[in-house]
Amino acid sequence: MNDNDLLISVFRVGRLHTRLFHTVLEKDGVDGTLHNGLILHLLSEEDGITQKVLAQRMHIRPQSLTGALEKLEKEGFIRRQRSETDKREQIVFITGSGRERNDVMTEERDKTTEELFRILSEDEKDQLYRLLTKVADQEL
């Protein structure tokens, strides 16, 4: 095994979870795109943040977020308003239906995550978590 084999394995696990998650959501008629789910999740934890801050938390450029926000707003899951202190900034809020959608997605994500990692013992899960966190937290 080399580093590329390890990286491919990490990607495969991510793709497997995405496939499981989307299969369940599509069965229920829920649009569970990665950006939409992450946006709703972040806003459910901290509502009323700027588009810039939201993009930073998602590790993407603010411009890359615009299309997803427009779609979520059109569907009634979020609302945006101009900042009173800086008219160039937009503040993003989650709506009640957005919270409901986030709850559905969170429940399904938890189920598919449990299914994905069921073959690992608790010790193996802890070890995997520590190792992946160590890699993800490094300064590059």
**Full set of structural domains in the chain with CATH:** 13-134 (1.10.10.10)
Distance separating alpha carbons of residues 45 and 134, to the nearest angstrom: 24
Share of the chain above pLDDT 90, in %: 55
Question: Is 70 exceeded by the pLDDT of residue 28?
Answer: no
pLDDT score of 40 more than 90: yes
* pLDDT tens, residue by residue, 70-125: 999 999 999 999 988 888 889 999 999 999 999 988 888 898 899 999 999 999 99
Answer left, alpha or beta for residue 59, where phi above 0 means left and psi between -120 and 50 means alpha.
left
